[in-house]
Amino acid sequence: MLAAWSLWQTRVPDGLRLPQLETDGLFRPTELERAESYARFLRLDFLASQLVLLVVLALYAWRGARFTRESAAGRIGTGMLLGMIGLALVWLSQVPFRLAETWWDRRYDQTDAGYLETLFANWFALGAEFLFICLALLIVMALAGRWQRRWWIAAAPFFVGLVALFSFIAPYLSPTESADAALRADNRRFADAQGTEPPRISVEDVSEFTDAPNAYAAGFGPTRRVVLWSTLLDGRFSDDEVELVLAHEVAHHSRNHILEGLAWYALFALPGAWLIAVATCRRGGMRSPAAVPLSLFVLVGLQLASSPLQNAISRHQEEEADWVALQTTRDPGAAKQLFEKFTTLALSDPDPPAWSEQLLGSHPSVLERIEFAEAWRTRSR
């Protein structure tokens, strides 16, 4: 509890009161209707995709163990083979929903990409996820072979180490190019203002896949990087708005949010591993390949069940990054204009339903972020 309390602390002042704004006063009715319609379909698509995913994995957990009789790859090799089959089923189960999302994005002019082009994008990230699961299964089955009932105690630190490794190399999983001199200068200026070493800044060309704006911070230590999507630099956003995005992403590094995310993961790794051990004990435990399909079902179920908490932590960090960015740029007007464009250009629902924010909202809503900028303006007068 003490560790969680410490990780929850931010630079956002306690008791900060947000003004109660109305979306009708910020957007035209046609803009609101378009954004809400766009987001509504994607929410339904997500719910259907997760339901199908759970059904597919439940069926695999029920019938997948029979593949063990046909394998001559040994205990660990068979377990990894079953893990690969499970990942393939996961990917295939999501194909119709990915295609539906692409159709919807094309209909609302959010992408010009083709269906197959979108479906097979991000192979590096998909390969990294595949490698992560294979390494996790290798570690778990090896430990379970040595300590059948207590493997989860030793496995949790290994899981944390794997997540740390993939977080460390994450900046190299997407092709990027160096940012121009002006962005590099802004990056150094904002890092100095926030009291941190400037991370490397890159631009990722996503114009073939989407028109949506985005940016992200990745890596830690020597691999720290800020990546801006090319769609932020295509002329639709002012220099002040781009600077606010950059200051926000630098804030993720200056406030050590990536390392904090690893610490949050470490807090839940041990109970998560224990729950998998308990759930698979009737299949012979994780030393048995027959338990692998069930373990994948339990793992996905735990991820879905914990998503409201994960999103709450993410929103908390994003709120702090917004605050630090405002402290750095001192430009709440640019923040308001930027967040409004998330709705008018990227069709983000400015005030989504509460259940959607809990289940899907890794960032505060557009309306909340505008209110946050106004609260900063009032407090800084």
Alpha carbon dihedral 225, 175, 335, 31, in 10-degree steps, equals -160
Closest CA to 21 of 240, 358, 339: 339
Residues in the chain: 381
Cα atoms found within 13 Å of the Cα of residue 126, Cβ hemisphere only: 12
90-95 contacts at long range (C-beta below 8 A, 24 or more positions apart)? 90/53, 90/56, 90/57, 90/296, 90/300, 91/126, 93/49, 93/52, 93/53, 93/56, 94/49, 94/52, 94/53, 95/119
Query: Which pLDDT score is estimated for 89?
Result: 92
CA separation for the pair 272, 307 (Å, rounded): 13
Query: Which pLDDT score is estimated for 210?
Result: 86
Cα atoms found within 13 Å of the Cα of residue 348, Cβ hemisphere only: 23
pLDDT under 50: residue ranges of the chain: none
Query: Which pLDDT score is estimated for 225?
Result: 97
The secondary structure element, H or E, covering residue 2 is helix 2-8
Unique residue bearing structure tokens 């803009």? 31
Query: Which pLDDT score is estimated for 71?
Result: 60
Query: Which pLDDT score is estimated for 135?
Result: 84
Query: Which pLDDT score is estimated for 124?
Result: 65
